[in-house]
Amino acid sequence: AARFGKPFLLNPAPAVPLPAALLSGTTLLTPNEHELALVLHNAPDAWQDVLASHPQRILMTRGSDGAWFADPCGKLHHQPTFPVSAIDTTGAGDTFNGALAADWGKGLAQLTRLACAASALSVTRKGAQSGMPTRAELNAFLAIYFFCQYIAFIFYCQALRNCKDDYSIAYCDFNFYMI
C-alpha cells in the first residue's frame, strides 16, 4: 500500500500477535476489544489508554457498544450503535470494514458513523454477503434515522416548553421517553 501511496486498513481477525513492522505500516487498525489486547499485547481493560496513545490509528469496535477512537489530541470519541433488531451478526465486522474502505478520505468520526450504520443494517438480514447494504440502502437508513431523531427532538422541546417547574420538567422528560 505504501509503495502505491494507498491507505492500509487492517482488521486483525482472527487475532494473533502482529509484527511491529506490519503495525507501523498500518493506516488504520480496526480490531474489536479482544483483538486489540492480543495484537498489541495489552491488558483487555487497557483499551482506552491504548486508543489515546494511538490517535486516529485505531478504530476499535465493541459490539453493541459501538465503536471508539481517539482524535489527534488523544481524546476518546464514541459512536454508539444504531438500534436495530438483529437477525444474523455474521459479516457485521466485514461490513463495518468495507464501509470504511468505501468512504475512505472522510473524517474518522464520519467514517465511524457510516461504518456503524452499515454494520447495523447488515445484521437485520441473514448472511454475510447478502446482509451487506447497498449505498442507496445505507443512505436511506441514515436519512430515516436522523429524521426520526429530529422529530423526537422537536417533541422533546415542545414538552419542555409546556412544563412549568422542575417537577413538571422531570415529568415531561419521563413522558418523552415513554413515547
Residues designated as active site: 94
3-class secondary-structure state, position 35: helix
What does residue 78 show for φ and ψ, rounded to 5 degrees?
-125, 130
Looking up cell 414538552, which residue turns up? 159
Per-residue HEC secondary structure of 99-157 comes to HHHHCECECHHHHHHHHHHHHHHHCCCCCHHHHCCCHHHHHHHHHHHHHHHHHHHHHHH
Alpha carbons 158 and 99: distance in angstroms, whole number: 37
Looking up cell 505500516, which residue turns up? 25
